[in-house]
A and B are shown apart, each in its own frame.
Chain A
Amino acid sequence: MIELPIALADLWFGIVLAFLAAFLFLDGFDFGVGAIFALRTDATEREQLLAAIGPFWDGNEVWLVVFGGGLFAAFPPVYAGLFSRHYLLLFGVLGALILRGLAPEFYEQREDERWHRWWGRAFVAGSVGAPFLLGVFTANWVLGVSGIAPASVVVGLAVVALTVVSGAAFLGVKTRGSFREETTAYGPRAAVAYLALVVVALALAAPRLAFGPTTLFLVALSVALAGGYVLALRRGRYHLALATAGGLTAGLVALVGAWLYPLADPATGLTVADAAVGSPSIELLTGASVLLLPLVATYFVMLYSVFRGPIEPGETY
């Protein structure tokens, strides 16, 4: 039949995981800001937290759209199998993302306290629920299980901790003064929690996972990056802290890739090579991405440089 371009299949496996990593990092700090929102009660502070993510969250969330689209386009049987097996879990993710997306939009529409309280809760529930459930989903994917496995729940919590790690560093960039001191203080604690949860998850999942040089290296790298993160935060190098948080996220997704490969879906035993779409679909997809992804990168550089630096007084959501 059609001769499968193996190299392109592997490339797309990497690209799809990179989309996932981009989402978990970029929207991750939005989620982290949402978690920190729960810990702050002052109305002005909460307003600042919403203003910090205002221009970014929508663009950041598109990485999940391209992750879904990329998986659908490059590995249709994996997309179909994975999404239908984790039916309720994914609707949970969607529900959380609906809450997170709408809450700030609606929060701003009225001034009264009850309205703010409820949309504030919705914002927190969405911001914490989405990464938790996505973590459970990703762990289930790697382990080839469905339902709610203990190891997956721990991974879910680890992803939530990771979003707080990113969120605290992001607020280090976006806020100033005592508010910055207080919000960035959540970062080191979250980093420790993240490492501890990862260790617990690995212990729980150990019977199902094989440890090789790559995976051990990635775990060691994560520990080193977490250390670097704490140091950077302590020294007030917030951009560097944000970058190490990004490294931590990339490391986690790289672990996912290392454990999956050469399988694309351990539950069905489908390999990356077998699951990939044939020619010419995959070539067209690759061509389109080669043209578009540099543009996408430009948009993000543009967006983040327009809104670089701290939130200015008077800037609201």
Chain B
Amino acid sequence: MPIRPEHIHDGPNSDPRRPPRRGTDDEPAPGGGDVIDPALASRLQFALTTIVHIIFPVMSMGLAPFLVYFTWKEVRTGEALYVRLRRFWTKIFAISFAVGTVTGLVLEFEFGTNFAAFSETVGALMGGPLAVEGMMAFMLEATFLGVFVFGRERVSDRFYFVSSVFVGLGTWLSAVWILIANSWMQTPRGFEMVTENGHPVVALTDPIAAYANPRFPWMFVHMQNAAVLSVALFMAGVAAYHIYRRRHLGVVDSGNYDAEFWRATLKVALVVLIVTAPFQVIHGDAYGRHVAETQPQKFAAMEAVWETDSYVPEYLIAFPTSVEDLTDPRAKELFGIGIPGGASWLASGGDASAEITGLNEFEESPPVAVVFWSFRAMVALGFWFVVLAFWSAYRWYSGELYDDRLLHKALMVSALAGVFTVELGWIVTEVGRQPWVIQGVMKTTAGVSPGLTGTDAALTLGGFAAVYLGLLTVYTYVIARIVRRGPKPPESDAESGRETSTIDPAPEVTDD
């Protein structure tokens, strides 16, 4: 059996022919009495906390442009419909923002608590963007959010509209600084390694090279478009749910069904979907080429190419025919439908005969199965969103937007698919860079806090698993409840809204 690079764990001086074993060579073995290797626990914990956290920025960054639009229309036209739209979606925004604040603070602390060695090494370069994010973006967002959520009666229309813009700007500026930091970890430059206080430390030599990183614009555009696309899918799904229940199931129980509101929501969401879904696919294609150029190892993992080859096909659909295919995919051995030369074409920007560097050329590989399948699923979902966009556009054009049962069902099941796809994309980005935390500069295992014990790490990992499970449950419950009840009816007081909810027999959540 040929030696596969992913079996090598321990850096440059390990012999590739030696049978794989964990905790040998330069990597310190987990302490004898430790419940878990602190490095592993820290990585799992960071993975868990980022995977949960990203849901909320996606919701707030994606909702921001919609809220600016609703507020603009409200201020300009004074129509009650836009007041309802703005109010309803602001409620979801505010809750998502609060959860995003507290889960984001966790990440900022975790750099220090779990990855102290990494923090010490990169502080001079990455600390700045994080501090500036706080001062420039977070402050703007959090203070104007106070006005936006609580201050409608206290400020003028104009000021109120400006607040909505600043809140949105804040959420997007946050992404700028976080992605400046993250893109540097993908394609680091503008620095040199020095020794300070006895530790290897990154010294900033060229701030412009480091911060105006080639990867940044790719990430930013892809991420922001993904956030807006995800929220458009969410809004369309929610609107489809209400319209479907009313029109096709004939449910009339919820006395405050607001046809005008849900139709407007659906249309606004679909316009955005029709723009963002195709754009994401086109942009993603070009982004893939950039990854192939700058992180060939990651690209090889995305395509599961082991031997350097030309005319590499792109498998649009890949079927695992055995468990081995699933856990250890190799593009060449998979049963799939591929475009001959497609991956080469992708990587080179139009040359089907281009050579793709295989994973065998690298000393270590990321967990290929995770990257390969996440990438496939992300791309498949991306195309599905395009199908949904064209399908909806066609039905809208033919005047059957409110009649197509199947479309409504498709939109409903896709309501959360956008957020899920963002998760997949980040898994490709972050897992695909392993074993490096900073590509080619520092390994993830080298970044872990030296003094961290397995017991402490296991304790917090378990704590987060429990707390975040609870948090997600409550968040989902609260959002589902808001969505199910819909907006406050145009001409009725809070009393009637409450009444209807208690007789609302929607199956998935029960009130007690």
Contact surface of A with B, Cβ cutoff 8 Å: 1-2, 54-56, 58-59, 61-62, 64-66, 68-70, 72-77, 79-88, 90-91, 93-95, 97-98, 101-102, 105-106, 109-112, 270, 274-275, 277-278, 280-281, 284-285, 288-289, 292-293, 295-296, 299-300, 302-303, 306-307, 312, 315
Contacts and interface: CB of A to CB of B under 8 A. Distances in A.
B26 interface: no
Given A102-B99, A102-B474, A73 B127 contact: yes
Interface in B435-470: 449-452, 456, 459-460, 463, 467
B427 interface: no
Given A90-B113, A296-B135, A307-B150, A74 B142 contact: no
Contacts of B94: 105
The 9 closest A-B pairs by CB, nearest first: A76-B123, A83-B112, A73-B127, A55-B146, A69-B131, A80-B116, A84-B116, A84-B449, A66-B134
Interface in B146-205: 146-147, 149-151, 153-155, 194, 196-197, 199, 201, 203-204
Contact of A62 (B138, B147, B149, B452): B138
B146 A76 contact: no
A72 B154 CA distance: 38
A299 B123 contact: no
Given A74-B127, A80-B449, 7 more contacts: A58-B142, A83-B116, A88-B456, A88-B459, A278-B196, A284-B128, A306-B147
A88 B478 CA distance: 30
A83 B113 contact: yes
12 contacts: A58-B101, A68-B112, A70-B131, A73-B123, A84-B112, A87-B114, A90-B109, A90-B113, A95-B467, A278-B196, A300-B143, A303-B146
B150 A58 contact: no
Q: How large is the interface on B (under 10, 10 to 19, 20 to 34, 35 or more residues)?
A: 35 or more
B467 A109 contact: no
Given A65-B105, A66-B134, A72-B127, A80 B112 contact: yes
A54 B131 CA distance: 25
B120 A65 contact: no
A66 B463 CA distance: 25
- Please report whether the interface of chain A is mostly helix, strand, loop or mixed according to DSSP: helix
Interface of B: 94-95, 97-99, 101-106, 108-109, 111-114, 116-117, 119-128, 130-136, 138-140, 142-147, 149-151, 153-155, 194, 196-197, 199, 201, 203-204, 207, 449-452, 456, 459-460, 463, 467, 471, 474, 478, 481-482, 498, 511-512
A79 B471 contact: no
Contacts of B123: 72-73, 75-77, 79-80, 277
Nearest to B97: A58
B69 to A, nearest CB: 23
A175 B125 CA distance: 46
Contacts of A56: 146
A280 B127 CA distance: 13
Contacts of A55: 146-147, 149-151
Contacts of A307: 146, 150-151, 154
Contacts of B452: 84, 87
A9 to B, nearest CB: 13
B197 A270 contact: yes
Contacts of A68: 105, 108-109, 112, 134
Residue among B126, B131, B151 having the largest count of chain A Cβ atoms under 10 Å:
B131
Contacts of B467: 95, 98
B337 to A, nearest CB: 46
B135 A302 contact: no
Given A72-B127, A94-B105, A106-B474, A303 B147 contact: yes
